Structure 1
């Protein structure tokens, strides 16, 4: 049903029964990947082992699970203690069956290359893919950062194309996203305020480029009690 569209759905750790149902129903409908977090109201933190295992167990159609690696609710600079915890969390994500991890590390509005290199190496040791999350949107020079992350063997970059906490969404960031898609070797994962109404514009943007790209959504595919909205998923994945 996905018609070649790569849709990634962000899920908050919740009651395991609800998580299992959400993963199962959405992956059956054609969602390719899930990003699992806890405490999304804090921007998303590392979920529990039990939630990771539950999510993996309920994946259908070869969908993949990506696990947020973010121990603390703060900005994205990573000190030595946080770095140690993140490496441990990558290990337990792998041992719990995850397919990839999501993290970011910056220093003075630049990619923290030493920390990122270490975390990528840890992830690759466990055969996990790596997404650099929206810490990317805090960086001073996105194109320079894109080159750095490519050299560091990052697989995907999550971005809205707009500055972090600017109040703008991915549709507002189309100019920047277009530039990134022209230059990108990693997959560009477009996320940030995407709605059912704005998604067609962003799918169209993706279709104009040969670079691999995808959409990342959360609120527009959940109802008020946190269940996956089947109609919303179908709308996002419908044939153009």
Structure 2
């Protein structure tokens, strides 16, 4: 099993360009798995982890409800935001500057073949990272992602998640609000959940800005331990 994970930080990059790049990496891995099976060979499949920051964009998952986007095309344009229907699970999500988006493109045959466990470990990675900032983050029953003050009237989401998997290869991932403009969440019903708020790390810490590079480093450290992975950092971007 190949547990090396190649990490790339793509910086600020258009959502559609990044989606296309994800699809390319994803398809190469799936194709190699098919070839291995057809030829009874054992070529190692690669694992990737992309960090990226997107310009303002709303994405709607396969099971999403279009009515959860509360603005029309003209209003989106006025907010300099884009909108895409995509092939991950979950409902509507916002991505924008100040948010850490992570896309692990892993062959789970290299780790474990359990999507439920995969999602729980991604959540745990975020929970452990936030604990380093003194925040008690948790899971909310029946709601994928990471939350604060679960079970109280003040429950609020700090990290959204939505993944796709085929032949045990994953794509899409998580979006952690760090220095995010939370006003953009007012233009939608986040993840289709009407009665809970959204927050970000800088708001919770009472800081104008949190060092995003340090947060990424902490996330990777926990990812490496939880997935028993070997992180291989790459300087090149897509």
In terms of fraction of residues, the more strand-rich structure is 2
In terms of fraction of residues, the more helix-rich structure is 1
Q: Same fold (TM over 0.5)?
A: no
Higher radius of gyration, 1 or 2: 2
Q: TM-score with structure 2 length normalisation?
A: 0.30
Q: Which has the higher contact order (CA 8 A, sep 6+)?
A: 2
Q: TM-score with structure 1 length normalisation?
A: 0.29
